[in-house]
Amino acid sequence: MRVYWDAVCLSHNPPHEILSGKLVPYYESPDRVRKVKQALEENGTFQILPAEDDWPQIREHILAVHSHDYLEYLETIYDEWVAIGGDKSAVFPETFRHSQLQNVFNRDIKTMSPFAKAGDAEHKGNYTFDMSCPITSDTYRAAIASVKVALCAARALLGGDRDPSSGIFALARPPGHHAQQALCGGYCFFNNAAIAARYLLQQGGARRVAILDIDYHHGNGTQQIFYTDPSVVYISLHAKGDYPYFTGAADEHGSGDGAGFNHNFPLPTGSTTDDVYCDALQKATDVGRSHNDVDFLVVSLGADTYSGDPICEFLLTQRCYPRIGGIIASLHIPTLFVMEG
């Protein structure tokens, strides 16, 4: 299997985050990628390749998923934060936009006031929904590199590496599936899997792309981006009632033209064993098969379903993961794996 990565992805390294009201070391550490890469190299069956730099239109690929003001925010906010006296370690929001904090005379955020522009550091709470996305001086370029990794892997898939028994792996970081059109959260800034799916649709002439999200947490960002879009089937297995808490219910099926193309499989914490998980995954892949015009599969690959993960309440053992791989391979669809949590 070909594996794409970029050392620039390691540069995003905030000193801390706020979790359960505590200031703690940043969980989404660069060591995750280092250890995964080392394990793949030691395995000997993976071809580790650097992501190519020939992406002059990378902003356009990002804008196919994210809004222009959000892209501008991520690009400029650190310098503006420091310029107004913010701590140089990272940008942290002090307030978050809420429906009850709107100007009653004009609720459109883009025209609400002359201060509500994307780049204004005072309005950093417009573009994030939690405290796990501190933005350092290196965050933007690391997030761009992460997108580049996903796009290089997608391009390789289009270039002929379509063997359903192998697939292509994008060892991307920061992860992406919590990033919405104009919101970061859950360690995610740009939605790599969504950008790759859009690329496969636009550049590969695909009729439809399926995204199978097997991260422990629901991919609220991917769901939001494609909720009204019938060109992408989104299927997620995740912990019921866990982060991000407000999304991922089984009755969220999509809306408008996208009705019937969103499928959630929330699983109970504390009792999801290998068998329970694989049974649910089999049902999820059966749903995927029912959409028989899917040309490519993007797997949002989260390894945080393992029982030893510090923020996981599933009971999955290491023996479960070859079973998961076998079930996914049984779909016989050219597959791009994108690293998540």
- Beta strands 47-50 and 168-170 are unpaired
Q: Say if CB 301 and CB 193 are below 8 A apart.
A: no
Q: Which amino acid is at 135?
A: I
For residue 78 the two structure tokens come to: 């650190």
- Reported as a single tens digit per residue, the pLDDT across 82-131 is 999 999 999 988 888 877 776 655 445 443 333 344 445 556 688 999 99
The partner residues of 338 in beta bridges, in order of sequence, read: 170, 300
Residue 29 has pLDDT above 50, yes or no: yes
Separation CA 172–CA 215 (nearest Å): 14
Instruction: Report if residue 127 sits inside a domain.
Output: no
- Reported as a single tens digit per residue, the pLDDT across 238-277 is 999 999 999 999 999 999 999 999 999 999 999 999 999 9
Instruction: Report if residue 84 sits inside a domain.
Output: no
pLDDT of residue 51: 97
Number of structural domains in the chain:
1
Instruction: Report if residue 288 sits inside a domain.
Output: yes
The partner residues of 266 in beta bridges, in order of sequence, read: 238
Cα angle value 307/309/312 (rounded, 5°): 70
Residue whose C-alpha is closest to residue 312's, from 281, 336, 341: 341
Q: Say if CB 295 and CB 207 are below 8 A apart.
A: yes
Whether the model pTM is above 0.75: yes
Instruction: Report if residue 215 sits inside a domain.
Output: yes
**Residue in 12, 123, 178, 218 annotated catalytic:** 178
CA 309 to chain centre: 18
Residue whose C-alpha is closest to residue 147's, from 178, 187, 190: 190
Q: What is the mean pLDDT of residues 296-302?
A: 97
Rg (CA), the chain: 19
Q: Which residue has the higher pLDDT, 232 or 102?
A: 232
> How many Cα atoms occupy the beta-carbon half-sphere of 52 within 13 Å?
9
Cα angle value 260/265/271 (rounded, 5°): 170
CATH number of the domain that residue 235 is part of: 3.40.800.20
Instruction: Report if residue 230 sits inside a domain.
Output: yes
What is the span of the domain harbouring residue 12? 2-66+146-339
Q: Is residue 238 flagged as an active site residue?
A: no
- Reported as a single tens digit per residue, the pLDDT across 31-89 is 999 999 999 999 999 999 999 999 999 999 999 999 999 999 999 999 999 999 999 99
Separation CA 262–CA 224 (nearest Å): 10
Instruction: Report if residue 256 sits inside a domain.
Output: yes
